[in-house]
Amino acid sequence: MTGAGRDVVVLDYGFGNVRSAVRALERAGARVELTADRTRAMGADGLVVPGVGAFAACVEGIRAVRGHEVIGRRLAGGRPVLGICVGLQVMFEHGVEHGVHSEGLGEWPGTVERLQAPVVPHMGWNTVEVPEGSRLFAGIEDERFYFVHSYGVREWVLETKGRTRPPTVTWAEYSGDRFVAAVENGPLAATQFHPEKSGDAGAALLRNWVQSLS
């Protein structure tokens, strides 16, 4: 199975390194459109939610183009969504920046908070701890990926209690502090790192995601 012919929309809401993401997805074999159009975003085989900057501002931008409605409707229908960097963070319930608490999109329980490291941001290449069964990291489990962030999710709190398949959660560590590096949860997947800046490993991850689209 290949990603050829898969239509992907990168949600254009004013935040994120969108051009590099578009080019990387095109190289992964997708037909890519950068738009905030809700009809196009709903109809695409895959939706990518990028994000750079502050948690609260990104959530506000997504809500301004009613992107939260598109994300919710897609996920309810089992339609794939991929978040990148702050695009991962906004999927959680809460964000805390400079003492200010903000509401996220609430697709996952949990809080985005400042990394407990002597120096932030965490910037550069890092390894990740990939659990068995990951489709996103298939063939690249031992590779390094490029991170740029000061905040992260330091505790995974979602419990399925056997009712549904548990999410696949990938972790990373910076200066002794562990944080969520990626999540695969049915149609919703997200990475804290930037696959579009992660060389061959990031390109392989995007190919894995594009090839999973139906």
Q: Where are the domains of the chain?
A: 6-212
Q: Which residues of 48-59 are buried (b: 16+ CB within 10 A; e: fewer)?
A: bbbbbebbbbbb
Q: What is d(CA 11, CA 63) in angstroms, rounded to the nearest whole number? A: 12
CATH of domain 6-212: 3.40.50.880
Catalytic residue numbers read 85, 194, 196
Please name the residues in contact with 65: beta carbons below 8 A apart, sequence gap of 6 or more.
11, 12, 13, 36, 38
CA distance 64 to 62: 5
Give the helix/strand (H/E) hosting 178.
strand 177-185
In whole angstroms, how large is the CA radius of gyration of the chain?
16
Q: What pLDDT shows up at residue 1?
A: 39
Q: Which residues of the chain have a pLDDT value below 50?
A: 1, 3
